[in-house]
Amino acid sequence: MSSFSSSPPTLTTNSQKVPTFKISPNSQKPAIIHSLKQICRQDNIKESVFTLSNLIETCAFEKTLLQGQQIHAHVLKLGLSGDDSVFLNTKIVFMYGKCGSIGDAQKVFDRMTERTVFTWNAMIGACVVNGVPIRAIELYGDMRFLGVATDAHTLSSTLKATSQLEILYCGSEIHGVAIKLGLISNVFVVNSLVTMYTKCNDIRAASLLFTGMSEKEDTVSWNSMISAYTINGMNQEGLSLFVEMLNASVEPTTYTFVAAIQACEETSFGKFGIEIHAVVLKLGYSFDTYVANALLMMYIKNNRLDEAAKIFFHMQEKDNISWNSMISGYVQNGLYDEAINMFHEMMNAGQKPDHVSLMSMLVASGRQGNLLNGMEIHAFSLRNGLDSDLQVGNTLVDMYAKCGKLDYMDSVFGRMLHRDGVSWTTIIAAYAQNNFPWKAVQLFREVQAEGSHVDALMIGSVLLACTELRCNLLAKEIHCYVIKRGICDPFMQKTLVSVYGDCGNVVYANSIFRLSEVKDVVSFTSMMCSYVQNGLANEALGLMLCMNEMRIEADFVAVLSMLTAAADLSSLRKGKEIHGFLARKGLLLQDSIRSSLIDMYASCGTLENSYKVFNYLKSKDPVCWTSMINACGLHGCGRKAIDIFTRMEKENIHPDHITFLAVLRACSHAALIEDGKRIFKIMQSKYTLEPWPEHYACFVDLLGRANHLEEAFQIVKTMNLEDIPAVWCALLGACQVYANKELGEIAAMKLLELDPKNPGNYVLVSNVYAATNRWDDVEEVRVTMKGKGLKKDPACSWIEVGDKVHTFVAQDKSHPECDKIYEKLAYLTEKLEKEAGYVAQTKYVLHKVEEKEKVKLLKGHSERLAIAYSLLASTDRNPIRITKNLRVCSDCHTFSKLASKYLEREIIVRDAKRFHYFRDGICSCGDFW
């Protein structure tokens, strides 16, 4: 057998097409009745038997059961015996089998006292044709048991039954019988054996049989083998055999071309498919509907819709497969309007759509979100009784889910008579993806109760619901179920890593990741995202080193996670390394990459680099503009943020909710009250965007920071914002800064009422009480927190030195150089007290302790430890860059200003709200933060 070279062989043929003939389908019923009447007047039994035999064969060919039964009745009246009886009854068994009346065939067969091999063959053939293969094999077993001699027809028919059941051992046994009887050279037997081995997935045995054939002039043999290769995905072997067939001057048929063209559906053989198309045209098969349909699908699979359309519109006869292929091709390529138009053309042409047509249309409607069109198709399926089809029902469920009509979806699902795993998976996924996670979990419980099949896709949808619920316990339960069912494959492990990360259980996520046998870029990305989401950016960047050691190259998603981790840590060195990697790999064209780079540089304290990336971009999407606005706001450059917003408007880039949120925050950090009010107004009037709770909270924060507390409170009341926790949180923070006890009391009570599970709220309320020496109330808040199992996030600062990030918490003693750090900090504090006039502001220590202890607590704040370590680790004059997870307290703010002047060194601190640039005793925030 020839094989493909790097360049596929040119198709040639030495033969011309043999004309095909069609038997007229015109009914012969009147002729049968007339002949039957003539038989009744005949006296010669032999002539009657001969005529009856011909009539029975005609009934079998025409599948006229009623006339066949009339002839059968006449045969019974004749009372024939001996060979004539066996002969005619055998014909009658054959006729009933062809007419689909397997029960009548079995009755005639059972009543026969004498049977020939032809009788047995007729009965076995009837069983095979009528979908009762197991009965055919039983009859073959009876023949062997009774010692009835089998022939080629017997073995061929039985092998067909074996193929239908895919029973390899039974087929192999018949193969042995064929060898014993010397029938292995019979072309019908060999072809049946090839088909049987193919159906039973033993392609090697099928190939050996074909190769061993002494004569290969029978087209069916070639067709069987080419089809066998194609069905088993061995397209190259199938096409090589097709070329060999043409070179051997064996005349191809419709089945040959269909099998060869199907092999070319694989894109790597698309060019060869064009060559086969040329042969089809040369031999005149282009008008054959089956061949044209195969060409149609081949071009569609090779993304050549233009060529497929040419074939379709030139077809003389189009069947449902033709129309469905074209409609499906349009849908697969996102041309939904064209698919809908084609569907209407199909109906106008008088071709009745089937369940495949409806499924394609429902998919198109769902992807477009075209509810009206989907409902029309639904109505059509109801009128034509196609809604009971399982696949149509599943696609209806999916269509309504994609259109957001979950009530309609639920109604369709409830009316389904039969449901399979796809049905359950579709509806569970729909609820999980449409923010009804508990409903998804409830349906999964029903699946378990019914004992229905659960596959990986269904588990994936339930795990998505766990993510939405942030329910760690439920995630563990599903995890156990996955292990028990043995479906914890590598893909499932990656999903579990992601789910546990979303549920805040990094320990479990890390455990699954470490135990995974297959670690690829997706595995690392899932674990990296889990670390980043849970504030473990340092660990996320550590995975980047592991990926390098294992020579796993980061993809688009992994790089985004790395940039986020670098931004969270303010790790400028790592950020620049990632930027270099992106430049080398040519990934800078991705919009999300560009906006992430802007965010990263801004978060690392280099606003100038954010500008460079932003200005380098020739085309900027709304996300890039928003990222740059946010970067300016983060660095306290409110005016610059507004200027960029204005430029964005002039470029006709439509701002969205996130853009306005970034602008309002920038105004808030820079105390630009009038600008903030104007922007909040045009958001609703000019751009018709309804504010989110975050916008209202930001607007209240803007007024509160500027000590416009009464105005902020009036806005909360007039705009009915009393049910938004973020609004009260912003108001309470401002009340603490400006010591507004009365309003702070109202805000504190409201905040704890609306959001009792957020530990940050209790800390804020506790600080407000402590600032006014209400220590009993402080204790009560702390007891309440402890009773609810809530813990305060400790203040934490970190600094990047070399390739390592060093982390400090208040009063930290864990660093290996802690003695030197405290010694350096004590020296610096003493110098600032003596030479710069630093005095500890103990009023900001919100603990009921002695004054001396308050001073000690202030001296151990995390950002001061970071400054001291930076002085130890570097002697140059480069800026000291520190990141803190909470807001800088007023005393540390004063300390940092004085330190920058005394050390003659810039100190850059990024706290939870913004950047502070301390230079020569002055902060960029203007003491407003």
Alpha carbons 818 and 857: distance in angstroms, whole number: 16
Q: Is the pLDDT of residue 469 over 80?
A: yes
Alpha carbons 690 and 919: distance in angstroms, whole number: 41
- What does the pLDDT look like over 217-270, one tens digit per residue? 778 888 888 988 998 889 999 999 999 999 888 889 999 999 999 999 988 898
In whole numbers, what is the pLDDT of the chain averaged over residues? 89
CA–CA distances in Å: residue 495 to residues 482, 521, 562: 12, 13, 19
Beta strand 922-923 with 915-919: parallel, antiparallel or unpaired? Answer: antiparallel
Alpha carbons 613 and 198: distance in angstroms, whole number: 59
Q: Is the pLDDT of residue 424 over 60?
A: yes
Q: Are 305 and 313 in contact (CB under 8 A)?
A: no
pLDDT bracket for residue 3 (50, 70, 90): very low
- What does the pLDDT look like over 691-723, one tens digit per residue? 998 999 999 999 998 899 999 999 898 888 888
Higher-confidence residue of 671 and 896: namely 896
What average pLDDT does range 199-206 have in this prediction?
87
pLDDT bracket for residue 39 (50, 70, 90): low
At residue 412, what is the residue type? V
| Local structure of residue 268 (DSSP, 8 states) | G
Residue 198 pLDDT: 84
At residue 79, what is the residue type? G
Alpha carbons 118 and 915: distance in angstroms, whole number: 95
- What does the pLDDT look like over 371-416, one tens digit per residue? 999 999 999 999 998 988 999 999 999 999 999 999 999 999 999 9
Q: Is the pLDDT of residue 663 over 50?
A: yes
Residue 44 pLDDT: 52
Which among 44-48, 469-473, 510-514 has the top mean pLDDT?
510-514
DSSP string for residues in 311-330: HHHH-SS--HHHHHHHHHHH
Residue written as token pair 């369709």:
412
Residue 1 pLDDT: 38
- The least confident of 19-23, 577-581, 900-904 is 19-23
- What does the pLDDT look like over 562-612, one tens digit per residue? 999 999 999 999 999 999 988 888 877 777 888 999 999 999 999 999 999
Higher-confidence residue of 464 and 16: namely 464
Instruction: Tell me how far apart the terminal alpha carbons of the chain are, to the nearest angstrom.
Output: 80
State both tokens at 473.
Answer: 């316990």
Higher-confidence residue of 23 and 697: namely 697
Residue 764 pLDDT: 87
pLDDT bracket for residue 30 (50, 70, 90): low
> Is residue 799 classed as helix, strand or coil in its secondary structure?
strand
pLDDT bracket for residue 212 (50, 70, 90): confident
Question: What is the side-by-side strand order in the sheet with 907-910?
Answer: 804-809, 796-801, 880-884, 907-910, 915-919, 922-923
pLDDT bracket for residue 532 (50, 70, 90): very high
